[in-house]
Amino acid sequence: MQLDKIQSLDQQYFMPVFGNRTPVAFTHGKGMTLYATDGVAYQDFLGGIAVTALGHSHPVFTQALKNQLDQLLHTSSLYYIENQAALAQALVQCSCADRIFFANSGAEANEGAIKLARIHASKQGFTHKYEIITLVDSFHGRTMTTVAATGQEKYQKPYAPLTPGFIHVPINDLQALERAMSDNTCAVMIECIQGESGVQPVDQHYIHAVVALCKKHNAHFVVDEIQTGMGRTGKLFAYEHFGVEPDIFTLAKALGNGIPIGAVCAKEFVAQSFGLGDHGSTFGGNAFATCAGLAVLDILKNEDLVKNAQVMGEYFMQRLLSANLTKVAQVRGKGLMIGIQLTEPSAVQVKNALFEKGFLVGSVGTNVIRCLPPLIITQADIDAFVDAFTKIIEE
């Protein structure tokens, strides 16, 4: 189908929630490359917003899904599911978690984490402990409760009144956090690197202070790893950079490499608060989705892609910084989660110019370019991007 036909159908039948989409539709992909309906090739430096960590059409991943398609897709969790049990075990063995619950998305995983934190407090007899503190400019999802958790008014305003009990404090402002915490605090929920605010890392000292305050107030330390998890930052999970262990953390995006799946991961003392009937999901953790998760974990390990994210991320940052571009104010991030802050409000124009040169990136606000490429990226891929970016900035 040609692009104009796709656009016409979209405008007539799809709800208009995505604004002005980039005028392209893709038919297939291979590695770092996506191919459009007109045959033009694009280098994917956005990775489906940190989803396609393995790149496009990874042969081992694709074969695993094909094999599963021939066997079984879905039975519901009324029955035992081999892949579900195996993926839960695999995630526990490579993380600080003791138990896992599978959902269908990052928002659902964060909903599950919020419910788990609150029900644990309730079952301990602390029914007054329901407040959850999150950060200003955070992003935790699009459901009513995760919109309330998200510290951005633009996402919240149309849906008021929201789920009560959420307090938002500025990132890395310890005094503001101390003032917000009380005996009513059930949890503090953070992203180690905020993605939707322009790749804003949390300070090392701040995270350790968060952990200490959570212990002081008998509150849970919850980490949203939806965008940062599964090797994106050069560690399998971003919390590993800080030498801390969350009581609860959440996964999605790259866990399925394009197949919808989310996960609530928790330590035993809090996980046991979910009892019979306290939570559930029809599709969550079905045979197909958890097959994808198992394949992702195997490929990350067998191809050493987490290490590649670290090495290539350092190279990417070094290339950008050594270019000494006067219109770049800051380059920040970790691994292959990189934000390029411009000195002028020209992010959309730069993104569009990169698109014209065959590179896909994201823009955040008016002055940040966001890069979230597949973890299979090479130096040659980075060199090509930086050369194109440099020419655009200089022009």
Q: Which residues are catalytic?
A: 139, 224, 253
Q: How far apart (Å, rounded) are the C-alpha atoms in residues 313 and 323?
A: 16
Q: How far apart (Å, rounded) are the C-alpha atoms in residues 112 and 82?
A: 22
What one-character-per-residue DSSP string does 321-364 give? HHT--TTEEEEEEETTEEEEEESSS-HHHHHHHHHHTTEE-EEE
Which position has the token pair 């040659």? 380
235 and 306 Cβ atoms separated by less than 8 Å: yes
Q: How far apart (Å, rounded) are the C-alpha atoms in residues 323 and 335?
A: 19
Q: How far apart (Å, rounded) are the C-alpha atoms in residues 172 and 194?
A: 12
Q: Residue 290 corresponds to which tokens in the numbers above?
A: 């958890």
Q: How far apart (Å, rounded) are the C-alpha atoms in residues 312 and 306?
A: 10
